[in-house]
Amino acid sequence: MSFSKEEIRIALEKVIHPEHGKNIVELGYLEGLKVEENDVFITIHLPKINDPFKTSIEKAAIKTIQTLVSDKLNIVVKFRTPVKKESKVTNTDKLSGINKIIAVYSGKGGVGKSTIAVNLAVALALKGYKVGLLDADVYGPSIPKMTALENARPNAIQEGTKNIIVPIEKFGLKILSIGFFVNPTDPVVWRGPMATSVIKQLTTEAEWGELDYLVIDFPPGTSDVHLTLVQTLKISGAVIVSTPQNVALSDALKGINMFRNKDINVPILGLVENMAWFTPENHPDEKYYIFGKEGCKKLASSENLDFLGQVPLVQGLQESSDSGEPIAINEKSLLGKVFSELSEKIVHKLSEK
Ligand code: ADP
């Protein structure tokens, strides 16, 4: 038995937006509708940021379709809410279509910064946003591996005297990595002028187009590359990633102070605690606090910063990074939900400003 888009659309005419008293189709809010066998994918555009009726509209849409069309249908409703327009991020042409730039940062390497960056970007894209992901980690670019793009080489288009780099599209993201320009087995020894000029090219001479969010995987620590990034781009906010143990936290604090420095002055959106506890896959209810409990939460509270969430240490996350398929793609999995909630919090934090 197959179902037509028309049947679904007619059912959606029964879903009323409580504030306007009109149905969502009439209001022009039905932006996308796809039917694949028993799966129905609906995208609803709500003009208001944080529309209070979002959940009730979602529930009503599912219930109405199941009642009027078929209760065998799996229905996925996504919302696209506009991102509040900021003044343009810089006056450089190639960046003018980017609305918000999110820096994902850690004080030290190996705490899962790139893992959080790629999964956050995927979770935002799954919510219907236009998302770019820039891997600016000159010390160890890992996004090509985490997205199975190790051999990808982006195209360049000639514009006047400049070569404009075209990001690679995968998982609904536009991706560029400093790793696309080096041999994966070569150590990246870019420092100083070389690193900063490559970073400038990947930002100001790349075809990013229109983006709601550009997520940047920052290098860890503090360096001249950080300075270039904050001077070239207007960063909307930084997400600080740390693990709960003291060695990581003290480096995270250095990073917090760097973003707060008056010459850098990047708003900090909050902290994410990665590897917050270990959970064995076959015993999902068990939690082992192998790196200590809630270290990041305590740091957030002592620094008067928001605590954005906790990501557990699970084998599946490491495996998905290694196989090049970000775990957030599976929205219904434990970690899919974690990243979905994290992305929602970040969208919300950015819309507050
Ligand atoms: P960083 O960018 O901070 O250097 P990565 O994101 O590259 O760190 O992560 C380092 C390693 O740890 C990777 O192999 C990654 O798959 C793994 N990893 C990160 N976070 C988790 C987690 N929550 N659970 C399991 N493995 C993780």
From the list 19, 214, 194, the residue with the least C-alpha distance to 100 is: 214
Evaluate: CB of 310 within 6 angstroms of ligand 1: no
Question: Which CATH number is associated with domain 5-80?
Answer: 3.30.300.130
Percent above pLDDT 90 for the chain: 58
Domain ranges for the chain, please list them. 5-80, 93-352
Contact 110 CB / ligand 1 (< 6 Å): yes
Question: Which residue did the predictor score with more confidence, 184 or 223?
Answer: 223
Predicted pLDDT at 225: 86
Query: Measured from the CB, is residue 343 less than 6 Å from ligand 1?
Result: no
Nearest CA to ligand 1 atom 14: 318
**Distance between CA 261 and CA 267 in Å, rounded?**
10
Q: For position 157, what pLDDT does the model report?
A: 87
With a 6 A CB cut-off, is 112 part of the ligand 1 pocket?
A: yes
39 vs 190, higher pLDDT: 39
Q: How is residue 193 written in tokens?
A: 């002028």
Assess whether pLDDT exceeds 70 at residue 311. Answer: yes
Q: What is the mean pLDDT of residues 197-223?
A: 92
Task: Indicate whether residue 106 lines ligand 1 (CB < 6 A).
Answer: yes
CATH code linked to domain 93-352: 3.40.50.300
State the distance from the centre of ligand 1 to the C-alpha of 20, rounded, in angstroms: 46
pLDDT of residue 187: 56
How much of the chain exceeds pLDDT 70, in percent?
A: 93
Residue 56 has pLDDT above 50, yes or no: yes
Q: What is the pLDDT of residues 156-202, one digit of tens each?
A: 888 887 788 999 999 999 999 988 887 666 655 566 667 788 888 89
Does the beta carbon of 242 sit less than 6 angstroms from any atom of ligand 1?
Answer: no
Which one, of 102, 107, 97, lies nearest residue 117 by Cα? Answer: 102
> How much is the average pLDDT of 311-331?
91
Between the CA of 318 and the centroid of ligand 1 the distance, in Å, is 6
- Average pLDDT value for residue range 29-51: 87
> Measured from the CB, is residue 274 less than 6 Å from ligand 1?
yes
The answer, yes or no, to whether any atom of ligand 1 lies below 6 A from the CB of 321, is yes
CA of 113 to the centre of ligand 1 (A): 7
Q: Say if residue 91's pLDDT is above 50.
A: no
**For residues 281-310, average pLDDT:** 92
Q: Which of 344, 339, 331, 332 is nearest to 312 (CA)?
A: 339
Mean pLDDT of 275-301: 91
Give the ranges where the chain is alpha helix by DSSP (H). Answer: 5-12, 54-68, 113-126, 143-146, 192-204, 224-232, 246-260, 295-302, 315-323, 334-352
Q: How far is the CA of 111 from the centre of ligand 1 (A)?
A: 6
Between 209-218, 269-278, 311-320, the lowest mean confidence (pLDDT) is in 311-320
Geometric angle at alpha carbon 75, from 70 and 81, rounded to 5°:
140
- The 10s digit of each residue's pLDDT in 7-23 is 999 999 998 887 777 89
Q: What is the mean pLDDT of residues 218-223?
A: 92
The pLDDT of residue 201: 87
CA of 1 from ligand 1 middle (Å) equals: 44
Phi first, then psi, for residue 98 (nearest 5°) are -95, 125
Q: What's the rounded mean pLDDT across residues 227-248?
A: 93
pLDDT for the residue 184: 62
Average pLDDT for residues 225-247, to the nearest whole number? Answer: 93
CATH topology match: 5-80 vs 93-352: no
Ligand 1 proximity of 114 Cβ (cutoff 6 Å): yes
**Given this model, what pLDDT does residue 196 score?**
81
Q: In this predicted structure, what is the pLDDT of residue 107?
A: 95
Arithmetic mean of pLDDT, 73-82: 86
Mean pLDDT of 253-263: 94
Q: Which two tokens stand for residue 241?
A: 């990633």
Residue 332 confidence (pLDDT) above 70: yes
- Give the pLDDT score at 61: 92
pLDDT score of 88: 43
- The residue nearest atom 27 of ligand 1, judged by CA position, is 318
- How confident is the prediction for the chain on average, in pLDDT? 89
pLDDT of residue 170: 97
Written as one letter, the residue type at 304 is: N
Model's pTM, two decimal places?
Answer: 0.78
DSSP label at residue 50? T
